Amino acid sequence: MSVDLERLRASLLSAPADGDFVQEDGGEGLPLTPAAVLFPIVLREDGHTVLLTQRTAHLRDHAGQISFPGGRVEAADKSPLHTALRETEEEIGLPRKQVEILGYLPEYRTGTGFRVTPVVALVTPPFELALDPFEVAEAFEVPLSFLLDPANHQRHSLHYRGALRHFFAMPYGDYFIWGATAGMIRSLTERLGLHGA
């Protein structure tokens, strides 16, 4: 399944939208910390990929999980875009000049109390990454076509805070992509009309 970049661009929001959000199961009513992530689509000649990171095991929030580069909004950040680009540079050393912004997905409200603005962007190779060893254990790429294919979206559930929570996961090789990262990928799949059952 190939993805037409113009169709992709047309499916996105041109700016972060107030009131347009995706609510993760279990997060209703939590106080929300603003954050932003970069959803980086790498323009590889043999098929576009998505650049993801694995967080280090000792972090307080989402330790060891697969995630997009990004993090909390800081007081000096002018916009969610600024946050996403700053955090991406800090975490993996991806220079801003390699990044072309396509648009935004609806805000994603996590079950752990974050309201995340996903910034979708194209990344042009070649580039060299410089990982922050405190935050990032690894950076890797997954084919975009794999992530957007509903056949690869598994439904899971777990008990968390005294209730059964439901979530999507997209296992890829040794990587278990789930939680907010899988939810944001699912959000793009739905906006492209690919969500299936």
pLDDT at 62 over 60: no
Helix (H) or strand (E) holding 179: helix 179-191
Residue 197 domain-assigned (yes or no): no
Residue 102 domain-assigned (yes or no): yes
Q: How far apart are CA 117 and CA 52, in angstroms?
A: 16
Q: What percentage of the chain has pLDDT greater than the value 70?
A: 89
Number of domains in the chain: 1
Mean pLDDT of the chain: 89
Q: How far apart are CA 67 and CA 40, in angstroms?
A: 11
Looking at residues 136-140, what average pLDDT do you find? 95
CATH for 109: 3.90.79.10
Residue 149 domain-assigned (yes or no): yes
Record the pTM.
0.91
pLDDT 10s digits, 21-53: 888 776 677 789 999 999 999 999 999 999 999
Residue 196 domain-assigned (yes or no): no
pLDDT (0 to 100) of residue 164 = 63
pLDDT (0 to 100) of residue 4 = 86
CA atoms in the 13 A half-sphere facing the CB of 171: 5
CA distances from 34 to 20, 88, 142, 187 (A): 15, 16, 27, 18
Domain range for 103 is 5-191
pLDDT band at 167 (very low <50, low <70, confident <90, very high): confident
Residue 66 domain-assigned (yes or no): yes
The DSSP result for 129-175, as a single string, is ----TTTEEEEEEEEHHHHH-GGG-EEEEEEETTEEEEEEEEEETTE
pLDDT (0 to 100) of residue 35 = 96
pLDDT at 66 over 80: yes
Q: Which of 118, 131, 149 is nearest to 47 (CA)?
A: 149
pLDDT at 58 over 80: no
pLDDT (0 to 100) of residue 197 = 45
The DSSP result for 38-58, as a single string, is EEEEE--TTS-EEEEEEE-TT
Q: How far apart are CA 104 and CA 88, in angstroms?
A: 16
